[in-house]
Chains A and B, each alone.
Chain A
Amino acid sequence: MLEVTGLRAGYGEVEILRGVDMAIEPLEIVALLGSNGAGKTTFNAVLSGLNRPTAGGVVFEGRDIAGLDPVAIVEAGLVQVPEGRHVFPNLSVRENLELGGYRRGRANRKSNLERVVAIFPRLRERMDQKAGTLSGGEQQMLAIGRGMMSEPKLLVLDEPSLGLSPMLVEEMFALIGRLNGEGLTILLVEQNVRQSLEIAARAFVMENGAVSLSGPAGELMRDPQLQRSYLGI
């Protein structure tokens, strides 16, 4: 579904991504792991068209999307829920969700909205409340709900568990597993290594802007190098 080869990008003169290779098959959860500053968010920004790559290719459903603008990339069905949520604070929860279907999924907006609030009942209670007044966990649900309103083919989640209480983190991972079970392909970007590996099919570990380790999630869980650096064993 997604194939990234030799991807390079950065900010100005500074190169952050130094040749990233990775692939995602339909209906998978793929985890992209790595410590703070490894380049995960930069990678997502390039996927979504917020940053331009300097070299390499991004092929999504057989089409080269490297360097396209975010409008075209959302239109193609690659949708990102960014780190830090970036919900519209001055708009109501309902309006936030409606705008999720601004570019894609317009025809089914009503039924999509019903589906999202069925998944996140807490949003239903807050439909007419300004998004800026929601708690961090609720904002994260809203951000994911907004992403789902555009009927994504591939949903990229950038650190969805960041800043949530341990109980909410559990809930969030369970939910991601459930969305995947309903047929959604997910790229899960996380620092929460153990829980990510539990729900992912495969994983990539990013270090210094390149993939240092990859494979089926079960195998990585037993990898001595990964255990040492990320699982504290």
Chain B
Amino acid sequence: MSEFSILLPSVLNGITTGALYALVALGLTLIYGVLHIINFAHGSLLMLALYGVYFLAAGFDIGPYQALVFMPAAMFAVGYVLQRFVIGKASHDRDENILLVTLGLSIVIENLALYFFRSDTRVVDTPWSFETVELLGAFLPLPKVIAFFGALATAAALWVLMTRTDLGKAIRAVAKERKGARLVGIDVDHVFAMSFGIGIACLGIAACLLMPSYYVTPQVGHGFVLIAFTIVVLGGMGSFVGALIGGLFIGVVESLGGLFLGESLGQIGIFAIFILILLFRPTGLLGHKV
């Protein structure tokens, strides 16, 4: 009984955190699956989105959940423009160039953030930040429960987009067969930019869901990006279902790791998994699929 009463809250907590990780990883895996690039700027763009949520709250009194109306669209626009006019143009179709471009972008964004926002830790206080929900005898923070359902809803919406709309089908077509796509009249550069934009819009949603129970600094993206890479590798590069399950799994591993090894060592379990997967199952636990 006592074992269970310690483990259960920890597992549930891990699942709620993991859903947000999954959301960040979904964007990363979408971009990888379509453009075949690893977006090193993913963490800094999440940071940018978190500042967006912070300033909407601090400057305009727009709460994090109200910000859901603006942030996904704003981040989508940032992603679309970045891919169409910066990454796509600067890389001249060479994958190693794209890698350097996204890495360079992350450094630029981070340093601009340091310059303009300084390294202070900022939070958004809401009246319900510390409210809890009781589930199976465990008390979970309300913002994390909301984030969990928000992340699942986003994943479901993304699935509908990818399987039921012409845009989604075009994205999947371009991922595997660019020449065929051009010959049915798909504007490949536009579809690339849409994919990047949608991946970054996921970060806009994640930022709104995350901010009530988290904080923002210019470096806040680092922790997320390593976790997201682990999830993407774990779930199979480019796999949606893999990213979702991988995210939840990593959330639980982190939470249980924290319980048994202490907060500061909790993440070691994640990187152990990362290395083990790369060594023994480089295609991911669920294989490879877009």
Contact = CB atoms under 8 A, between A and B. Distances in A.
Interface in A75-109: 75, 79-82, 85-91, 95, 98-100, 102-104
Contact of B185 (A50, A95, A102): A102
A104 B166 contact: no
B185 A82 contact: no
Contacts of B262: none
A70 B178 CA distance: 12
B138 to A, nearest CB: 41
Contact of A91 (B172, B183, B187): B172
Nearest to B290: A90
Interface residues of B, number: 19
A86 B180 contact: yes
A150 interface: yes
A199 interface: no
A89 B179 contact: no
B87 to A, nearest CB: 20
Nearest to B167: A102
Interface string B31-57: 000000000000000000000000000
A80 B172 contact: no
A87 B183 contact: no
Contact of B184 (A49, A50, A100): A100
B176 A99 contact: no
B281 interface: no
A70 B183 contact: yes
Contacts of B186: 71, 99, 102-103
Interface string A23-54: 00000000000000000000000001110000
B183 A80 contact: yes
B182 interface: yes
Contacts of A91: 169, 172-173
A75 B185 contact: yes
B177 interface: yes
A74 interface: yes
A202 interface: no
A94 to B, nearest CB: 10
Main secondary structure of the interface of B (DSSP, over half): helix
Given A50-B182, A102-B166, A102-B170, A89 B187 contact: no
Interface string B134-170: 0000000000000000000000000000000010011
Contacts of A8: none
A74 B170 CA distance: 15
A71 B173 contact: no
Interface residues on A, range: 20 to 34
Contacts of A80: 183
Contacts of A89: 176-177
B173 A50 contact: no
Contact of B176 (A74, A88, A100): A88
A89 B175 CA distance: 10
A99 B186 CA distance: 9
Most buried by A among B170, B184, B186, B290: B184
Contacts of A85: 180
A71 B183 contact: no
Contact of A50 (B170, B172, B176, B179): B179
Contacts of A79: 183
Nearest to A103: B185
Contacts of A90: 172, 175-176, 289-290
Given A50-B179, A82-B179, A82-B180, A88 B185 contact: no
B169 A150 contact: no
B170 A87 contact: no
A153 interface: no
A74 B169 CA distance: 18
A102 to B, nearest CB: 5
B159 to A, nearest CB: 15
B177 A99 contact: no
A153 to B, nearest CB: 14
A89 B169 CA distance: 12
B177 A86 contact: yes
A103 B184 contact: yes
Contacts of B179: 50, 82, 86
11 contacts: A48-B182, A49-B182, A70-B182, A71-B186, A82-B183, A90-B289, A91-B173, A95-B172, A99-B173, A99-B181, A103-B185
Pairs of residues from A and B, 9 with the lowest C-beta to C-beta distance, nearest first: A103-B185, A74-B185, A86-B180, A88-B173, A70-B182, A90-B176, A88-B177, A86-B179, A71-B185
Interface of A: 48-50, 70-71, 73-75, 79-82, 85-91, 95, 98-100, 102-104, 146, 150
Given A81-B183, A82-B180, A99-B186, 17 more contacts: A70-B183, A70-B185, A71-B185, A73-B185, A75-B185, A80-B183, A87-B180, A89-B176, A89-B177, A90-B172, A90-B176, A98-B169, A99-B170, A99-B173, A99-B184, A100-B184, A102-B186
